[in-house]
Structure 1
């Protein structure tokens, strides 16, 4: 099984991310650095939430069936 990776730059305010907890937002849509539009469950970002929200660049790995495998924040 081949794994693929994309890099996305994400900037979500704390107020915007609160919509996940309220149930009005279940997914995040972003454009990768190479121009690919991706959508993924907002819940995968939970461990990266700070008081300011979510800010940074992330590597998302998914399998050849486009199923999410992992996410890591770039330094």
Structure 2
């Protein structure tokens, strides 16, 4: 990203400044050390409910909720 900004003639802040701002303004965001591609709580909950559900209508509702959620994530 830094290279792209510099190629377009933009200026880039120092890494030290970036991390300071990150800690101040984005402290609620964490990046896991083990796996950066974990599912969010909503994805996990919907998947769990789908595995337990046997009713056709309830399952269809959950699938629609999941599809809507995944569309928002894109």
The TM-score with structure 2 as length reference comes to 0.20
Specify which structure has the higher proportion of helix.
2
Structure number having the greater strand percentage: 1
- Larger of the two Rg values belongs to structure: 2
